[in-house]
């Protein structure tokens, strides 16, 4: 490894703030995060940037509708984007907002450089403009509709500063030729090359029709065109005018969706050439995740949200699915059915099962320690060879951004290990020294394969591989493990194994899908606050209480029907760590009721217990699970610890409380 680490700078698009992230935005950000983790494990000094694109007419309008100033509107939205990425464990090193002062300075500086070098002039422009895509449209669809989003265009005339894009036709074509990997995948490159060969028109880069933008210094009311503004964020995130000090620019890869490839491979390099700044090394444009064969979009409302999936199946499951299901670069369909199928087959039955089987056998036969292997037989050597070869193949696939193929290679070694165990049957071996030694060899071999798989899969499955890593008794940080030093044979005998935490509990498909959809529905159409007491609130106390001075009549109290119930079964709910699902006998029937008490009561301790149930509450869904009633509890202390209401005398099930 080189003395000084080589740098690697990754960016995601700087997302618009007129909506919240859906699975499409999550996809690009997940890929950036996977790449960030992978490159770190290959010894690079990595920076990953994401952020929010906060200017333009759409924001102006959205803020007006929300009746708040634009600055407040975008601050709230940026917080929400950042919070979601944090919740999903997507850790960017830089989160740039286009309203940050550092960014404003950088845009104004870039403009000055382009102008000083003679590539900016003042003129007039009249054209059809799409306010949704923030672009003038030269070839509208019939009826003056935007060819990209089908929405009506507006005619705009304004005095603008123009950028001499036309001067860059040849320099751009030469650049694409000199750096044939600049545009990826290859198929998109041809599309861009023919676009540039077709001739480039100068581009208006300031607006006077918009107020909410970065001002052009000394030229008010001119503000910068949103794309001149947003693209520059990649540079402002790593130092702006002082980029050389940070040493990260130029970007090694801009990850984008295919919708914005032209902005990144034509306009952006041309702006940088005009300013005589270093150009990014690569633009990687992936395809669409489609929902029912249509492009997902916030405005069409056919979006898939990440949070419900993560609540139900975990973040690793979503990351795995996004990268495994679709070849990076191509379009793919998103379906909950495929998601849950892959979860059960590849994660629960594949990696999860191999880890738990291996852990159980090591616990039973070797008191939870890595055994010392005996003599290796051809079957052991064959598996070793397969795992060793997988290392090379997986690294090569990751390097080429062939994530699906990398995962395929990892999973085929998992399948080979399953087959090996089935053939070698360590569980059928007895206690004689020879058989003990054979068992040790088989289980060491399996554990070693699991160690290699864990390192290789870590960029995609950070949470679950960290659990397997601890299980294997490894103490070094997994994310700092250098993939270049990974070899078969490094698992040290004698290590004490950790405890295996549940990796991927199997789920019932129909139920899982229903719960994900129901959680998504709750998120997209939130009920008014009063109707949705927090999931943590178990009891009647959660409803807004009348203030002490406010009295209610007996007729109000008698509207609430409370009965004695007896808990028949209690279980935890996958994806909802605060909730328990209870089946409660209320005399006339047995009800399913969710209660937010999972952090305070063990499910087993509740069976048989008599409780107070509000039985005439309208049914509602909590984390996608239907709840028919409410268990009454006192709320104790500042954190509201629930204590179930009960009786000191034996009471009959179904008795009414008065």
The residues of the shown chain that bind ligand ME8, judged by CB under 6 A, are 13-16, 24-25, 27-28, 53, 230-231, 233, 256-257, 259-260, 288-289, 295-296
360 vs 295: CA distance, rounded Å? 46
Distance CA 284, CA 571 (A): 46
* Cβ atoms < 10 Å from Cβ of 4: 6
Nearer to ligand ME8, 297 or 592 (CB): 297
At closest approach, how far in Å is the CB of 598 from ligand ME8? 35
Q: How far is the CB of 304 from ligand ME8 (least distance, A)?
A: 9
Closest CB to ligand ME8 among residues 315, 615: 315
Closest CB 370 distance from ligand ME8, rounded Å: 43
Q: Rank residues 19 and 215 by Cβ distance to ligand ME8 and give the closer one.
A: 19
Pick between residue 260 and residue 348 the one whose CB is nearest to ligand ME8.
Answer: 260
d(CA 287, CA 322): 12
Task: Return the number of the residue (22 or 439) whose C-beta is nearest ligand ME8.
Answer: 22
Select 16 or 403, whichever has its Cβ closest to ligand ME8.
16
Tell me the closest approach of the beta carbon of residue 234 to ligand ME8, in angstroms.
Answer: 7
Shorter beta-carbon distance to ligand ME8: residue 52 or 344: 52
CB 289 within 8 A of CB 601: no
* Minimal distance, residue 26 CB to ligand ME8, in Å: 9
**Cβ-contact 503, 467 below 8 angstroms:** yes
List, in order, residues 6 or more apart from 96 with CB less than 8 Å away.
14, 49, 50, 51, 52, 102, 103, 233, 236, 237
Residue nearest to ligand ME8 (CB): 24
**Whole-angstrom distance, CA of residue 339 vs CA of residue 328:** 17
| Nearest distance in Å: CB 255, ligand ME8 | 7
C-beta separation of 399 from 459 below 8 A: no
Angle, nearest 10°, between helix axes 433-457 and 403-424? 170
Residue 206's Cβ-count burial label (10 Å; 0-12, 13-18, 19+) is buried
d(CA 405, CA 402): 5
Pick between residue 27 and residue 343 the one whose CB is nearest to ligand ME8.
27
Answer yes or no: are the C-beta atoms of 214 and 99 closer than 8 Å: no
Q: Which is nearer to ligand ME8, 25 or 581 (CB)?
A: 25
- Quote the CA–CA distance of 166 and 189 in Å, as a whole number: 19
Tell me how far apart the alpha carbons of residues 472 and 469 are, in angstroms, rounded to a whole number. Answer: 5
Nearer to ligand ME8, 213 or 624 (CB): 213
Give the shortest CB-248-to-ligand ME8 separation in angstroms: 17
Cβ neighbours, 10 Å, residue 307: 18
Smallest separation (angstroms) from ligand ME8 to the CB of 284: 10
Distance CA 288, CA 265 (A): 18
**598, 622 in Cβ contact below 8 A?**
no
Indicate the burial class of 609 (C-beta count within 10 angstroms; 0-12, 13-18, 19 or more): middle
* CA 395-397-400 angle, 5° bins: 110
CB of 235 to ligand ME8, least distance (A): 11
Closest distance between ligand ME8 and the C-beta of residue 259, in Å? 5
The first and second tokens of residue 422, run together, are: 């089935």
CB closer to ligand ME8, 126 vs 330:
330
- Least distance in angstroms from the C-beta of 58 to ligand ME8: 10
């Amino acid at each position: 490894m080189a003395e000084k680490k080589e740098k690697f700078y990754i960016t995601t698009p700087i997302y618009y703030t007129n909506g919240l992230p859906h699975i499409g935005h999550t996809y690009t950000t997940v890929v950036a995060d996977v790449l960030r983790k992978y490159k770190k494990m290959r010894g690079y000094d990595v920076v990953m940037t994401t952020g929010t694109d906060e200017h333009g007419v759409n924001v102006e309008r959205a803020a007006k509708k929300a009746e708040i100033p634009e600055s407040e509107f975008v601050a709230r939205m940026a917080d929400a984007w950042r919070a979601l990425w944090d919740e999903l464990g997507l850790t960017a090193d830089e989160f740039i907002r286009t309203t940050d002062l550092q960014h404003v300075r950088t845009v104004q500086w870039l403009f000055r450089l382009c102008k000083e070098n003679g590539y900016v002039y003042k003129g007039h422009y009249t054209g059809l403009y799409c306010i949704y895509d923030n672009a003038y449209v030269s070839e509208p669809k019939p009826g003056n509709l935007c060819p990209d989003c089908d929405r009506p265009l507006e005619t705009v005339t304004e005095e603008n500063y123009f950028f001499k894009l036309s001067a860059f036709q040849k320099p751009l074509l030469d650049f694409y030729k000199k750096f044939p990997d600049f545009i990826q995948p290859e198929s998109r490159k041809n599309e861009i090359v023919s676009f540039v060969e077709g001739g480039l028109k100068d581009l208006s880069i300031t607006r006077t029709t918009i107020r909410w933008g970065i001002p052009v210094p000394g030229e008010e009311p001119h503000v910068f065109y949103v794309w001149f503004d947003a693209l520059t964020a990649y540079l402002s995130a790593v130092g702006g005018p002082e980029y050389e000090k940070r040493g990260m620019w130029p970007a090694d890869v801009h990850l984008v969706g295919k919708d914005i490839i032209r902005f990144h491979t034509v306009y952006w390099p041309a702006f940088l050439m005009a300013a005589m700044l270093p150009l990014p090394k690569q633009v990687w444009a992936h395809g669409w995740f489609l929902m029912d064969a249509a492009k997902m979009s916030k405005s069409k409302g056919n979006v898939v949200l990440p949070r419900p999936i993560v609540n139900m199946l975990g973040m690793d499951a979503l990351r795995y699915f996004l990268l495994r299901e679709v070849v990076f670069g191509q379009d793919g369909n998103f379906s909950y059915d495929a998601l849950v199928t892959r979860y059960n087959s590849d994660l629960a039955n594949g990696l999860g099962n191999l880890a738990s089987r291996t852990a159980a056998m090591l616990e039973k036969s070797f008191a939870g320690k890595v055994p010392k292997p005996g003599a290796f037989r051809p079957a052991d050597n064959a598996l070793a060879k397969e795992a060793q070869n997988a290392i090379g193949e997986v690294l090569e696939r990751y390097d080429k951004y062939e994530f699906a193929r990398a995962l395929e290679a990892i999973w085929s070694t998992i399948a080979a290990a399953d087959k090996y165990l089935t053939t070698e049957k360590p569980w059928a071996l007895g206690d004689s020294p020879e058989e003990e030694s054979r068992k040790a060899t088989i289980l060491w071999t399996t554990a070693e394969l699991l160690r290699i798989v864990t390192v290789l899969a870590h960029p995609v499955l950070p949470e679950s591989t960290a659990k397997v890593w601890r299980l294997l008794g490894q103490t070094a940080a997994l994310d700092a493990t250098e993939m270049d030093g990974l070899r078969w044979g490094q698992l040290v005998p004698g290590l004490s194994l950790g405890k295996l935490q549940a990796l991927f509990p199997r789920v019932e498909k129909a139920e899982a899908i229903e719960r994900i959809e129901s959680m998504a529905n709750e998120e997209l159409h939130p009920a008014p606050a009063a109707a949705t007491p927090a999931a943590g609130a178990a009891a009647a106390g959660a409803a807004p209480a009348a203030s002490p001075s406010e009295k209610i009549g007996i007729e109000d109290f008698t509207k609430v029907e409370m009965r004695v119930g007896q808990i028949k079964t209690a279980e935890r709910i996958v994806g909802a760590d605060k909730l328990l699902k209870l089946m409660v006998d209320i005399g006339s029937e047995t009800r399913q009721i969710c209660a937010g008490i999972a952090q305070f009561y063990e499910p087993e301790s509740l069976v048989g217990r008599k409780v107070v149930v509000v039985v005439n509450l309208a049914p509602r869904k909590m984390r996608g699970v239907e709840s028919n009633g409410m268990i009454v509890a006192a709320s104790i202390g500042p954190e509201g610890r629930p204590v179930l209401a009960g009786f000191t005398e034996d009471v009959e099930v179904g008795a009414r409380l008065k």
